Amino acid sequence: MNPYIEIIRPGNAIMSAIVIILVAIIDRSFNLPIFLAMLAVFFETAAGNVINDYFDYHIDLINKPERPIPSGRISLKNGKNYGYLLFILGTICGFLISYLTNNWIPFLIVLLADVVLYLYAYKLKSTPLIGNLAVGFMTGFGFVFGGFTLNHESIIITSIFLGFFAFVMTTARELVKDIEDMEGDKLEGAKTLPILYGERITSILAFILIIIDCALCPLLYYVNIFGLYYLIVIAIAVLLFLYSAFLIIKNQDKTTAAKVSKYLKIGMLIAFVAFIFGSF
């Protein structure tokens, strides 16, 4: 794969953009601002991934040496400039959305995303819990961004519900990933939650967040945001979430943490499918 495509982690960026499609499907609205919102989220996510790899160069030499920058396929300078270019493209999309809709909240959201993503890569990632919350916040904010792009009360309220779900589960997954990456983080001097307080405490917090999200999932049906099909599909995701929660609370070694991180990501994809089915 071309290193400039690989470094943006296209699967991750596309998954983030799918959030906008989900909001559009729920609202049954497809227009030019929605398309621009998809591009904005894709570019912002890609920019965050690239600038994160730029700042994580020394850590990735240990944890993930095959990545484009530590492997030498992209230079540090080119990686930084590429990240800045993607931020600019995302910001332009946000401006166009606000210009077309005469609603400047989407543009402000993109500007906030620029700041948070950069600060996360530069400093927040190594800050215990704050970095995890920042990633969760940005994931959940994608739904809110879609809601404000469509800009009417019902979809904004729904997008906030979905954003909170994504925020909680993503934060839990980030905590699990910190357990997985402890070896490299220690050598780099990072102060993540498992390094400061241990894998056990971190796994308990991740467990609690996963259980909270599982408990909240049926609410989207009972408050009539989604229909019966949602309840059927989300049950699959909930079972996978619960299995992941009990795996990480039982064992916090690197292999288990990697497995749980993968399961949580799959569970979130299934949850996104449930959102689509539930809107019919």
Residue 28 sits in a domain whose CATH number is 1.10.600
pLDDT tens figures, 12-36: 888 889 889 889 988 888 889 999 9
CA-angle at 87, arms to 82 and 93, nearest 5°: 130
Closest CA to 159 of 19, 29, 278, 42: 19
pLDDT band (50, 70, 90) for residue 188? low
pTM: predicted TM-score of the whole model, two decimal places: 0.83
> 125 or 236: whose pLDDT is higher?
236
- Average of per-residue pLDDT values in the chain: 89
Which of these, 280, 271, 37, 44, lies nearest to 146 by C-alpha position? 37
Residue 218, pLDDT score:
87
Measure the CA–CA gap between 258 and 262, rounded to whole angstroms: 6
Token duo for residue 82 = 């590429």
Enclosing domain of residue 84: 3-278
Tens-digit pLDDT profile for residues 207-247? 999 999 999 888 888 877 788 889 999 999 999 999 999 99
Element (DSSP H or E) covering residue 48: helix 32-55
pLDDT for 94: 96
Q: What is the pLDDT of residue 70?
A: 84
| 163/139 Cα distance (integer angstroms) | 7
d(CA 136, CA 134): 5
Determine the pLDDT at residue 161: 87
Cα–Cα distance for residue pair 80/57, rounded to 1 Å: 11
Task: Tell me the C-alpha distance between 48 and 45, whole Å.
Answer: 5
Tokens (6 digits) for 63:
């944890």
Binned at pLDDT 50, 70 and 90, residue 118 comes out as very high
What whole-number distance in Å separates Cα of residue 229 and Cα of residue 64?
40
Place of tokens 């070694």: 253
Question: Based on the structure, what is the number of domains in the chain?
Answer: 1
- pLDDT for 90 beyond 80: yes
